[in-house]
Structure 1
Amino acid sequence: MKEESTQEAEKQLNGKSKDANSKIDAIKELIFGENIQAYNSEFEAVKADIIAKKEELQNLISIVETELLQNIDTLSTDINIRITDLENTLNDKIETLDDKKVNRKLLSDLLIKMGQKISE
C-alpha cells in the first residue's frame, strides 16, 4: 500500500512538473516569442548563405585543382622536352670534342716520325 501511494505521489509530481514546464514555455513564448522567431529566421538565412558559399568555394576549388593539374602536366612535358634537347646538345658537343681531340699517343708517334725524317 505504501508503494502504491508513493507511485501516485510521483505521478502527481511528474504531472505538476510537466505542467510547470509547459507554463514556463508558454511564458517564454509570450515574452520572447517574436524575438526568437526573428533570430531563428536570421539564423536560417545565415545558414543558407553559408551553405551557398561553401558550395561556391567547393566549385572554385575543383576548378583550380583541374587547372593546376593541367599546368603541372604541361610543365612536366615542357621540362622533359628541354631535358631531351639538352641531352642531345651535350651528346653533339661530346662527339665534336672527340673529333677535335687528338690522341696523345698518335701525336707523339707523328712527332717522332717527323723528327726522324728531319734528322735524315
Structure 2
Amino acid sequence: MANTDKLKEETVQSSTEATSKIDAIKQLIFGENMQAYDSEFETLKQDILTKKQELEALMDDVKSEILQNIDNLSTDINIRITELENSFEDKADALNEKKVDRKLLGELFTKLGEKISQ
C-alpha cells in the first residue's frame, strides 16, 4: 500500500512539474500577451457557442417548416386523389348508363318490330 501511495505522489508531482514547465515555456514565448490571448480565445469560444445556438435554432425552425410543408403536400395529394377517384367513378357510371340506354333502345326496337309484325 505504501508503494502505491508513493507512486501516486510521484506521478502527481511529476505532472505538476510538467505543467509548471509548460507554463514557463508559454510565459517565455508569449510573455505579457498571454492574458490578451486567453481573453481573445475566450471571446472566440463564446462567439462560436452563440453562433452554434443560433444555427441550431434556425435548423429547428427549418425542420418544423419542412414538416409542415410535407403535411400540407400530403393533404393536398390525398384531396386530389379523392377528386380523381370521384371523377373516374362518375365517368364510369355515365358509360354504364349509355350502355344501358342502348340495351333499352334495342329492346324497344325489338318490341316495336314485334308489334308491327302482329
Q: 1:27 to 1:95 in 2, by over 3 A?
A: closer
Q: Percent same amino acid among aligned pairs?
A: 56
Q: d(CA) in 1 for partners of 2:72 and 2:81?
A: 14
Deviation, 1:27, is 6.4
Q: d(CA) in 2 for partners of 1:84 and 1:37?
A: 70
Q: Deviations over 1:29-70 (max 9, x none)?
A: 255232222222111111111100010011111111111111
Which of residues 60, 63, 81 is equivalent to 1:65?
A: 63
Normalising by structure 2, we get a TM-score of 0.63
Which of residues 76, 97, 106 is equivalent to 1:99?
A: 97
Q: d(CA) in 2 for partners of 1:96 and 1:60?
A: 54
Gaps in structure 1 of 5+ consecutive residues: 1-10
Task: Answer with 1 or 2: which has the greater Rg.
Answer: 1
Q: 1:22 to 1:84 in 2, by over 3 A?
A: closer
Q: 1:80 to 1:100 in 2, by over 3 A?
A: same
Q: Which runs of 4+ in 1 moved over 3 A?
A: 20-28
Q: 1:41 to 1:99 in 2, by over 3 A?
A: same
Q: d(CA) in 1 for partners of 2:46 and 2:19?
A: 32
Match of 1:51 in 2: 49
Match of 2:88 in 1: 90
Gaps in structure 2 of 5+ consecutive residues: 1-9
The alignment of Structure 1 onto Structure 2 pairs a total of residues equal to: 102
Q: 1:97 to 1:40 in 2, by over 3 A?
A: same
* Greater RCO structure (CA 8 Å; 6+ sep): 2
Give the aligned residue type for 2:56.
Q
